[in-house]
Amino acid sequence: MSRMSYREAMREALREALRADPRVFLMGEDVGRYGGTYAVSKGLLDEFGPERVRDTPLSELGFVGAGVGAAIGGMRPIVEVMTVNFSLLAMDQIVNSAALMRHMSGGQFSVPLVVRMATGAGRQLAAQHSHSLENWYAHVPGIRVLAPATVADARGMLAAALADPDPVIIFEHVQLYNLEGEAGDAPVDIARAALRRSGADVSLITHGGSLPKTLEAADALAADGIDAEVVDLRVLRPLDLETILASVRRTHRAVVIDEGWKTGSLAGEIVARIAEEALYDLDAAPLRVCSEEVPIPYAKHLEDAALPQVAAIVAAARRACGRS
């Protein structure tokens, strides 16, 4: 175990992967000479050279599709799409090539591709640079979607993703890069959600950049006599319903926190599953804390108002517990 930032944890994971397997390479815009937009890959070019830490032109559709091809061709590409915002340009290759390939070829071609992208808002980057679209990817059969929300997961998920013979997308929330924490060096599982805090009164279910806010809310609730359980989804597809439902069956109350816009959010899917599978375990209507349904504005006070905040999580949990 050692202490490091989320950014360093991702970098260590990349370094380890590049060292461990000659088939692994990292490709994306400015991953090399620039050092990565979020400085994740800084130093890797020097260590592994420009073939394996490969700067690409601005052509998201092209290089993501090239990642699919390289994966089919026997390599283990890690493609960095700078942010989820730009991944809209590459959507066709992710959905229509990576995700469908194995099934539509009758099982002949697997696509062992890892795509990493930064996601989320909170840095005043305005409407076009603040999307949270994990839910869209989590809708697509054939891919696995991960959201490391801790330093340990940032450190451990990549190796597990590379071991997966099918496409895996890893979402790194921009607000997490400076998070400090403990990281092991064993791969972590990429199948299960995690209880980040046990509690008896209400389940707070979240992922990615909303985890720190949710934990903070849980602390505030504790001070208020509400014992909140915090579930970190970790794996957005396939969802670990067992862990989610077990928690709700214990606490009988659920609040789902998700930085996506509410309508059609991943939080909606979680609420739907709870309603379908655990309706009679509920002591209160499930609630969502999501982003307001507006493009994310630049001005700080408006951006704050648009995004899920600790106070809103606390308020929702109190409401779920019949306290207001």
Q: How far is CA 227 from CA 71, 86, 219, in A?
A: 46, 40, 9
Per rule CB under 8 A, is residue 260 in the interface with a copy of itself?
Answer: yes
Q: How far is the CB of 174 from ligand TPP (least distance, A)?
A: 13
- How far is residue 211's CA from residue 197's CA, in Å, rounded to a whole number? 11
Q: Give the number of residues written for the chain.
A: 324
Q: What token pair was written down for 63?
A: 């290089």
From 59, 294, 304, 323, residue interacting with a copy of itself (rule: CB under 8 A): 294
Which of ligand TPP, other proteins, a copy of itself, none lies near 266, with the C-beta cut-off 5 to 8 A by kind?
A: a copy of itself
CB of 229 to ligand TPP, least distance (A): 39
**279 alpha-carbon distance from chain centroid:** 27
State the DSSP string of 262-273: STT-HHHHHHHH
Angle at the Cα of 34 (from 33 to 35), degrees rounded to 5?
90
Q: Which residues form the interface with ligand TPP (CB under 6 A)?
A: 29, 58, 60, 82, 86, 89
Whether cis (ω within 30° of 0) applies to the bond prior to 238 is yes
Nearest-approach distance from CB 248 to other proteins, in angstroms: 21
Note if 129 is an active site residue.
yes
Cα of 98 vs its chain's centroid, Å: 19
Q: What letter would DSSP give residue 150?
A: S
Q: Establish if 167 lies at the interface with a copy of itself (CB under 8 A).
A: no
Report how far apart, in Å, the C-alpha atoms of 119 and of each of 61, 80, 148, 318 are. 18, 12, 11, 29
Taking CB under 8 A as the rule, does residue 253 contact a copy of itself?
A: no
**Pairing mode of beta strands 228-232, 194-197:** antiparallel
109's tokens: 């071609």
Q: Which of 71, 179, 274, 314 binds a copy of itself (CB under 8 A)?
A: 274
How far is it, in rounded angstroms, from Cα 237 to Cα 60? 23
Evaluate whether 76 touches 24 at the Cβ level (below 8 Å): yes
56 contact, one of ligand TPP, other proteins, a copy of itself, none, CB 5-8 Å limit per kind: other proteins
Name which position in 39, 89, 195, 315 contacts a copy of itself (CB under 8 A). 89
Active-site hit among 60, 229, 269, 303: 60
Q: Which does 25 bind (CB under 5 to 8 A by kind): ligand TPP, other proteins, a copy of itself, none?
A: other proteins
Q: Draw the binding track, 119-158, toward a copy of itself (x: CB under 8 A; -: no contact).
A: -------xxx--x---xx-xxxxx----------------
Residues making contact with a copy of itself (CB under 8 A): 61, 85-86, 88-89, 91-92, 95-96, 99-100, 103-104, 126-128, 131, 135-136, 138-142, 237-239, 260-261, 263-269, 271-277, 279-280, 282, 284-288, 293-295, 297
Residues assigned a catalytic role: 60, 129
